[in-house]
Structure 1
Amino acid sequence: MDEITLVTGANKGIGREIAGRLAALGHTVVIGARSAELGEKAAAELGTDSVVLDVTDPASVAAAASHLEERYGRLDVLVNNAAISRPPGTDLSHQSPSSADLGTLRAIFETNFFGVVTVTNTLLPLLRRSAAPRIVNVSSSAASLARNADPATELPVSAGYTPSKTALTALTLQYARELRPDGILVNAVCPGYCATDLNGHSGYRTPAQGAVSAVRMATVPADGPTGTFVDDEGPVPW
């Protein structure tokens, strides 16, 4: 039986690599993208389906869920990949804790945290129809509390992107605890510092490398792990 998989924010970058790799493994992949044109273009190139999906717009998420239900009847894998590091027209200086712009912080959390809640909760009924449902949340080791608490850390100071991913990792644990009795596996992954639009292509890893941990967790068996935080080398410090 084909695995029906939705990857949010998948028309470019790491999301596109995740979608392409899962499609190559035989998954029926649906690319979620805010732009219909860009989503359809990526889908045509990868041989996948696409759907308009803005994680910050509940109506858009509901419409995407309706598309999935009508076309496939269920969802086996949800990869919450869509994220922003800052709103358009702002820079990282707006995220210094002592001088943070609240509008900037709210916009980041709206996508990186609340968007995941909106998408996940809307799609849970379809995931419950799967024989082996899995949710993969793309987080970041830059949001590790242990790493940020280290006096020698070289991580940048951020009141926006970093806490939004810390919150996402914590949220992953809460979903894993709640959904464990239902057999829904929920894990967080770190792609590493990849060169994407998220960071102005300053990362030293490729999107293909960044996709590895998400693809691995998207393909674990029904008795696989849940409530974990890993990268492609193993567990990541919380």
Structure 2
Amino acid sequence: MTITFITGANKGLGFETARRLKDLGHTVILGARDAQRGQDAAARLGVRFVQIDVSDDTSVSSAAADITAHESHLDVLINNAGITGSHAPADQLVGSEAVEIFNTNVAGIVRTTHAFLPLLQRAEHPVVINVSSGLGSFALTHDPSRIEGQISVPLYTASKAAVTMLTTQYAKALPRVRFNAVDPGYTATDLNGHSGPQTVTEGTDAIITLATEDADAGTGRFIDRFGPVAW
């Protein structure tokens, strides 16, 4: 049985990922920052809940200790938790806003990966999936025909570019663990006021692919539901 932990999974892409992987036979552990919302979401799916705030070292360590005590190993870690951060115009952005978004979107992945590596290393074919974005792609954000090329959100896009690079570097440094990044695409979620044209099911297609593919599928990749993403 594949044991999978998903951060930020009480709603949106994380919740749909949890639902789909449970239906595919994974033992899903649903992670969320808000305990009540996380417990409610887990109850709806019939999965176990573990509280985790990826911006807090103690919370992340406690979550890893909980899963160590109950499951003893982890096959798949999905780093889904993230925030959009400040929507202020570029000329009004300040350093504290950058620290806030990078603390969750980038340092949060480092914290969680570090804490859960011992559990992953006990698995036969460990997998880490980092939820990035096409908004972190140089290629897509320079293409005026795409939505990514029509939006200016400096801090969020910079954080997602960092997520993708972080993924490739982990893949090189830790070859026994399969690290890949995913662009869900412009999906209707709370993060964008449900303005995206994709459903959450379509938005999780690439995550499901990475969580269920063969062990020799490759590491250090950046994909969306249609295939490799240029970046």
Structure 2: which amino acid aligns with 1:121?
A: H
1:123 and 2:122 are equivalent in the alignment? no
Change (3 A) 1:35 1:59: same
Asked whether the equivalents of residues 187 and 226 of structure 1 are also in contact (C-alpha less than 8 Å), the reply is: yes
What are the ranges of 5 or more consecutive residues in structure 2 without an aligned counterpart? none
Q: TM-score, normalised by structure 1?
A: 0.93
Q: Please say if residues 105 and 159 of structure 1, whose CA atoms lie closer than 8 Å, have aligned partners that are also in contact.
A: no
Note the 1:70-89 alignment, pairs <5 A.
Answer: 70-86=69-85
Q: How does 1:1-238 map to 2 (within 5 A)?
A: 2-86=1-85, 90=86, 92=87, 94=88, 96=90, 98-150=91-143, 154-180=149-175, 183-238=176-231
- Looking at structure 2, the residues matched to 9 and 175 of structure 1 have their Cα atoms a distance apart, in angstroms, of 21
Contact 1:95 1:105 in 2 (8 A): no
3-state SS, counterpart of residue 237 of structure 1 = coil
> Could you tell which deviates more after superposition, 212-221 or 167-176?
212-221
* Alpha carbons of structure 1 residues 95 and 123: separation in structure 2 relative to 1, 3 Å: farther
Change (3 A) 1:160 1:20: same
TM-score between both structures, scaled by the size of structure 2 = 0.95
Distance 1:15 1:4 in 2: 15
SS in 1 for 2:25: coil
Describe the SS at the equivalent of 1:131.
coil
Residues 55 and 95 of structure 1, relative CA distance in 2, 3 Å threshold: farther
Amino acid in the other structure paired with 1:164: S
CA distance in 1, matches of 2:41, 2:130: 21
C-alpha contact 1:3 1:26 (8 A) present in aligned 2: yes
Is contact 1:95–1:104 with CA below 8 Å preserved after alignment?
Answer: no
Superposed displacement of residue 201, structure 1 = 1.3
Q: Percent identity at matched positions?
A: 46
**Alpha-carbon deviation of 1:151?**
6.2
Moved more, 153-162 or 205-214: 153-162
